[in-house]
């Protein structure tokens, strides 16, 4: 479908001025492309379905990254195009989209999906088609060895690394007796298992695990299950239920003593933290993959990235303050596109015949220093597990804003390899 | 030429055209056709229950998922080979339909819809709860090494297409034979007037249960094949969406026609595939198309064709 420019509502005069200026400067400013055909990248987009809020921002981020890459000369001197296809956040459609992008649109590779079930449902087809499939999913499924050699996650850390690296800080600063409240399905179970293990390894104790069925819309019957001696309440609720959960949590504790509260920002991605009903979050802590509110120590690259994707200092669209971004995750699209550029240039990529060389080039990557290509921070890529490792941020809600209070080290997040994809055949 | 000869001739011709399509279609559409054939088998099963017997179920996702997991779990946990796993999936669909049928067939009409819907929803939630066994909402990959049937690698395009075709052809011909058999006529009698059929000495509960089990075997076979051919087993296939889809395929193609489910699956697949390239609101387009269908051709494409031109169409 037709692509739209993001964050712009130009007047007629502005358009005419811009067009005139563009005509005058086109010969000087635009990259001079060779006659070679553009490199076509397929983007498996959650434009509709439960991932639509993420998809909207992932598309904007991809467009912004594409502009930066093309303005800098493209890839191997060739312009780059992105073909977006909606997968409806559905694994069946996801596999069909992989097929369509590869066989019909003739894309060189595919990237961009977030939701785990879509990734797991689509990766087998990518492996069969022998097309590189770079996911932005956070799931442990890549590093667990469940997928295949063509599937990689070089742009975002996985949930196992995230919870493992933050547990020491939580235990040292918030308390050692932890109660976990999580949705009773795979996403919640990952948190339950990996965070529990990290808490026990750190000398803490998970004193209660409150699993909430996925269809639940009210939490009042679960909140009394939180033991009175809980020091830290860890929550990873997702979807619209988050607002209800926080509101009911506030009513449950009232003005009395309450534990420290630590949550995953996944709960509140694309949601204004100053929304009515969320006042109870003041003073609580969150994991953030990337700080939504611009921090005082933000790097020049982070500032440039924020401007490029059209996000203001509060994490909302510059054109609509109510349109809150999925800032903690969407950097993965930006970084993945830059990894694609680096990988293709390292492989001397010319066309689909070089797809294997591209995968091998990415597998050979290790250090990824903080830069315009890696705006969230420096990272280390593990070619064996196809998974990147990086920093995590813990923020505190102060005055309705998320203020960073801790940055984990990369070493804190690294765990033993569960697979060596490099030993698998293509 | 008799109606029977025409019917068999037409269906064999359609099978021949579908088989030959793999040699002329671009690879994208050939793989799509393999998917459509498997989904059409699912819809054929639904058509036996709904189109021929009048059982409007909203729980067929459960039977499809039973086949999917009946095939996938033995491969994942017990390393069972592909063929026995496929048979297990097929049986799982039939057994699940039998169990649901024994209870749900005590009701009829809207109550039957609601009861089957609730069973399917309970099945879906059970899959999520048993996350460590089923992979929950994320699902799991069927290992490529396990997707080998009689020495053929089902992850390769040609064997996959042929496997889907064999299933489709078997489903189609069995369906054609069944609906033209005496039992098929009893199924239609149940749909048209259950009380009169009872007066004639038929046992509606027995006929409907057998039909539902057959329908479940079709759905289970399709689920098992889908997982095996495309390498993924996941909870999303047990959601209500997969109870609605076969109903839409059947309504579009023509309820109570043997070829209707295939035609409906084919058209619906490409309706979504093409419109999603132009608009985010492609389900709106699908909905509008269905409203138009109900208004102007309530018996579906082949149903309307049968009514006006091809009276011999089974």
DSSP string, A102-170: IIIS--SEEE----HHHHHHHHHHHHHHT--EE-----TTTTTT-S-TTEEB-SS--HHHHHHHHHHHH
DSSP classification of residue A24 = H
Domain count, chain A: 2
**Structure-token match 């690394």, residue found:** A161
Q: Which residues of A touch B272 (CB under 8 A)?
A: 93
Instruction: Tell whether the model's pLDDT for residue A27 goes beyond 70.
Output: no
Minimal C-alpha gap between B231 and chain A (Å): 6
Instruction: Return the pLDDT at A35.
Output: 61
Residue A118 · residue A91 · CB < 8 Å: yes
What lies within 8 Å, CB to CB, of A370 at 6+ separation is: A299, A301, A377, A378
pLDDT value, residue A6? 38
Residue B201's region, left for phi above 0, alpha for psi from -120 to 50, else beta, is left
Percent of chain A scoring above 70 in pLDDT? 91
Q: Which residues of B touch A148 (CB under 8 A)?
A: 144
Same domain, A380 and A400: no
SS3 content of chain A, % helix, strand, coil (to 5): 40, 20, 40
The structure tokens listed for A58 are: 């992932």
A333: burial class by Cβ within 10 Å (0-12, 13-18, 19+)?
A: buried
Contact assessment for residue B27 and residue B154, using Cβ atoms and an 8 Å cutoff: no
* Interatomic CA distance for residues B45 and B60, integer angstroms: 9
CA distance A419 to A412: 20
Q: What is the mean pLDDT of residues A151-176?
A: 94
Among A130, A133, A109, A104, smallest CA distance to A121 is for A133
Which structural domain range is residue A135 located in?
Answer: 12-23+33-157+329-390
Asked if B155 is an interface residue toward chain A (Cβ–Cβ < 8 A), one would say yes
Q: Could you tell me if residue A380 is inside a domain?
A: yes
Whether residue A131 is contained in a domain is answered as: yes
**Are residue A43 and residue A192 in the same domain, yes or no?**
no
CB contact under 8 A, A124 and B155: yes
User: What pLDDT does residue A34 have?
Assistant: 53
Q: At what angle do helices B60-78 and B204-230 cross, to 10 degrees?
A: 50
Q: Are B137 and B236 in contact (CB under 8 A)?
A: yes
Considering only CB atoms, B277 lies closest to which of A1, A125, A185, namely: A1
> In chain B, what are the domain boundaries?
3-239
B138 Cβ under 8 Å from any chain A Cβ: yes
Residue in B155, B156, B279 closest to A1 by CB:
B279
Average pLDDT over residues A236-261: 82
CA closest to A101 among chain B residues: B28
* Helices marked H in chain B: 3-24, 27-47, 60-78, 82-104, 110-129, 131-134, 157-180, 182-192, 194-199, 204-230, 241-253, 260-275, 282-296, 300-308
pLDDT per position as a tens digit, A330-349? 999 999 999 999 999 999 99
Alpha-carbon B162 to chain mean position: 18
Four-residue CA torsion sign, A307, A311, A317, A322 = negative
What CATH number is attached to the domain comprising A406?
3.40.50.2300
CB within 8 Å: B280 and A47: yes
A400 min Cα distance to partner chain B (Å) = 33
My answer on whether A129 and A168 are in the same domain is no
Q: How far is CA B129 from CA A53, A207, A239, A310, B136, in A?
A: 26, 21, 19, 41, 7
* C-beta atoms of B31 and A103 within 8 A: yes
Radius of gyration of chain B (CA): 19
- With contact defined as beta carbons under 8 Å apart, do B63 and B70 qualify? no
Question: Of chain B residues 239-278, which have a CB less than 8 A from chain A?
Answer: 272-273, 276-278
- Interface membership of B150 toward A (CB under 8 Å): no
Q: Are residues A81 and A206 part of one domain? A: no
Comparing C-alpha atoms, which of B57, B56, B46 is closest to residue B217?
A: B46
| One domain, residues A116 and A77 | yes
Rounded CA separation A57/B160 (Å): 37
Residues A195 and A142 in one domain: no
Q: Percent of chain B at pLDDT above 90?
A: 82
| Closest-CA residue of chain B to A49 | B280
Q: CB contact, 8 Å: B132 with chain A?
A: yes
Q: Which has the higher per-residue pLDDT, B181 or A185?
A: B181
From chain A, the residues in CB contact with B140 under 8 A are: 120, 146
Question: CB of B182 within 8 Å of any CB in chain A?
Answer: no
Contact B140/A at CB under 8 A = yes
What distance lies between CA A28 and its chain's CA centroid?
Answer: 36
In a domain, A425, yes or no: no
Residue whose token pair is 């993945």: A336
- For residue A396, the number of C-alpha atoms closer than 13 Å in the C-beta half-sphere is 9
Nearest-by-CA chain A residue for B136: A186
Tokens of B125: 């939630």
Packing angle between helix B260-275 and helix B300-308, nearest 10 degrees? 130
More confident residue, B50 or A10: B50
Say whether both A344 and A370 belong to one domain.
yes
For the entire predicted model, the pTM comes to 0.89
Q: What sign results for the dihedral spanned by CA atoms B220, B223, B227, B230?
A: positive
Q: What is the pLDDT of residue A218?
A: 87
Question: So what's the pLDDT on residue A15?
Answer: 43
3-class secondary-structure state, position A363: helix
Out of B131, B230, B277, name the one closest to residue A185 (CB): B131
- Higher pLDDT pick, A94 / A8: A94
Mean pLDDT of A101-115: 95
Q: Are residues A205 and A76 part of one domain?
A: no
Say what percent of chain A tops pLDDT 90: 73
Q: How would residue A405 be classed by pLDDT, with cut points 50, 70 and 90?
A: very high
Give me the helices (H) in B130-156, please: 131-134
| Average pLDDT value over all residues in chain A | 89
CB B257 within 8 A of CB B297: no
Chain B residue numbers touching A96 (CB-CB < 8 A): 32, 35, 273
- Do residue B28 and residue A104 have CB atoms under 8 angstroms apart? yes
Q: Which of A4, A47, A49, A99 to mutate to test the interface with B (most CBs of B within 10 A)?
A: A99
Contacts of B139 (CB under 8 A, 6+ apart): A91, A117, A120, A121, B232, B233, B234, B235, B236
Residue range A227-236, pLDDT digits in tens: 999 999 998 8
Q: How far apart are CA B91 and CA B75, in angstroms?
A: 15
Q: Residues A204, A269: one domain? A: yes
The list of chain B residues with pLDDT below 70 reads: none
* Torsion angles phi and psi, residue B147, rounded to 5: -95, 50
Q: Got the DSSP string for A178-239?
A: EEEEEESSHHHHHHHHHHHHHHHHTT-EEEEEEEE-TT----TTTGGGS-TT-SEEEE---T
> How far is B227 from B230, CA to CA, in rounded Å?
5
Q: Which of B124, B222, B276 to mutate to test the interface with A (most CBs of A within 10 A)?
A: B276
DSSP secondary structure letter of residue B200: T
Rounded Cα gap, residues A359 and A386, in angstroms: 10
Q: Are B165 and B25 contacting, i.e. CB atoms less than 8 angstroms apart?
A: no
**For A294-340, where are the E strands, in sequence order?**
316-317, 320-324
Q: Clarify whether residues A149 and A51 are in a common domain.
A: yes
pLDDT tens track for A271-312:
888 888 788 888 999 999 999 999 999 999 999 999 999 999
Residue A26: pLDDT band with limits 50, 70, 90: very low
Look-up of token digits 């050692």: A176
Examine the domain organization and report whether A282 and A348 are in the same domain. Answer: no
Q: Which residues of A touch B131 (CB under 8 A)?
A: 185-186, 189
Residues A274 and A218 in one domain: yes
């Amino acid at each position: 479908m037709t692509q739209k420019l993001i964050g712009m509502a130009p007047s007629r005069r502005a358009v005419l001025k811009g067009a005139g200026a563009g005509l005058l400067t086109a010969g000087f400013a635009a990259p001079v492309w060779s006659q070679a055909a553009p490199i076509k990248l397929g983007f498996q987009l959650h434009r509709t379905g439960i991932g639509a809020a993420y998809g909207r921002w992932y598309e904007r981020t991809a467009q912004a990254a594409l502009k930066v890459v093309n303005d800098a000369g493209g890839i191997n001197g060739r312009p780059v195009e992105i073909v977006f296809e909606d997968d409806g956040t559905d694994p069946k459609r996801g596999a069909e989209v992989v097929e369509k992008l590869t066989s019909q649109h003739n894309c060189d590779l595919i990237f961009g999906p977030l939701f785990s079930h879509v990734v797991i449902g689509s990766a087998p087809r990518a492996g069969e088609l022998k097309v590189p499939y770079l996911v932005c999913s956070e799931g442990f499924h890549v590093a667990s060895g469940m997928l295949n050699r063509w599937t990689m996650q070089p742009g975002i850390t996985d949930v196992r690394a995230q919870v493992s690296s933050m547990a020491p800080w939580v235990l040292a600063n918030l308390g050692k007796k932890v109660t976990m409240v999580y949705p009773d399905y795979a996403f919640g179970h990952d948190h339950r298992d990996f965070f529990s293990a990290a808490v026990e390894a750190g000398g803490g104790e998970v004193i209660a695990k409150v699993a909430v069925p996925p269809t639940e819309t009210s939490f009042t019957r679960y909140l009394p299950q939180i033991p009175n001696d809980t020091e830290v309440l860890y929550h990873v609720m997702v979807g619209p239920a988050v607002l209800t959960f926080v509101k009911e949590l506030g009513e449950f504790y009232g003005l009395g003593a309450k534990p420290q509260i630590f949550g995953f920002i996944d709960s509140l991605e694309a949601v204004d933290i100053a929304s009515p009903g969320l006042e109870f979050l003041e003073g609580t802590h969150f994991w953030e993959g990337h700080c939504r509110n611009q921090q005082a120590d933000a790097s020049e690259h982070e500032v440039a990235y924020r401007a490029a994707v059209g996000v203001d200092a509060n994490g909302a669209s510059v054109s609509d303050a109510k349109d809150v971004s999925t800032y903690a995750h969407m950097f993965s699209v930006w970084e993945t596109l830059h990894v694609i550029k680096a990988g293709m240039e390292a492989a001397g990529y010319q066309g689909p015949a070089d797809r294997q060389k591209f995968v091998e080039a990415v597998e050979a990557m290790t250090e990824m220093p903080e830069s315009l290509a890696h705006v969230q921070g420096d990272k280390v890529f593990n070619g064996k597990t196809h998974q990147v490792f990086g920093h995590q941020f813990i923020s505190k809600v102060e005055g309705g804003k998320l203020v960073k209070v801790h940055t984990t080290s990369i070493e804190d997040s690294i765990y033993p390899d569960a697979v060596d994809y490099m030993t698998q055949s293509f | 030429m008799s109606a029977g000869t025409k019917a068999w001739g037409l269906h064999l011709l359609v099978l021949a055209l579908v088989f030959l399509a793999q040699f002329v279609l671009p690879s994208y559409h050939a793989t799509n056709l393999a998917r459509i054939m498997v989904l059409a088998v699912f819809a054929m099963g639904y058509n036996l229950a709904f189109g021929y017997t009048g059982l409007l179920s909203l729980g067929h996702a459960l039977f499809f998922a039973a086949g999917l997991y009946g095939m996938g779990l033995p491969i994942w946990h017990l390393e069972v080979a592909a063929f026995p796993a496929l048979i297990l999936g097929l049986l799982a669909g039939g057994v699940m339909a039998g169990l649901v049928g024994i209870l749900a067939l005590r009701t009829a009409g809207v109550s039957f819809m609601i009861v089957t819907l609730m069973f399917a929803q309970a099945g879906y939630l059970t899959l999520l709860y048993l996350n460590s066994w089923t992979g929950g909402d994320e699902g799991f990959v069927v290992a490529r090494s396990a997707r080998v049937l009689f020495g053929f690698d089902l992850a390769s395009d040609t064997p996959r297409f042929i496997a889907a075709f064999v299933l489709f052809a078997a489903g189609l011909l069995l369906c054609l034979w069944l609906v033209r058999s005496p039992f098929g006529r009893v199924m239609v009698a149940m749909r048209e007037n259950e009380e009169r059929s009872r007066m004639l000495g038929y046992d509606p509960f027995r006929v409907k249960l057998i039909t539902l089990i057959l329908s479940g075997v079709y759905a289970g076979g399709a689920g098992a094949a889908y997982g095996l051919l495309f390498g993924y087993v996941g909870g999303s296939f047990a959601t209500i969406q997969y109870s609605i889809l076969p109903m839409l395929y059947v309504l579009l193609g023509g309820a109570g026609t043997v070829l209707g489910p295939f035609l409906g699956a084919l058209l619906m697949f490409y309706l979504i595939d093409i419109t999603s390239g132009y608009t985010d609101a492609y389900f709106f387009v699908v909905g509008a198309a269905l409203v138009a269908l109900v208004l102007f051709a309530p018996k579906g494409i082949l149903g309307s064709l049968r009514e006006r031109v091809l009276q011999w169409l089974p």
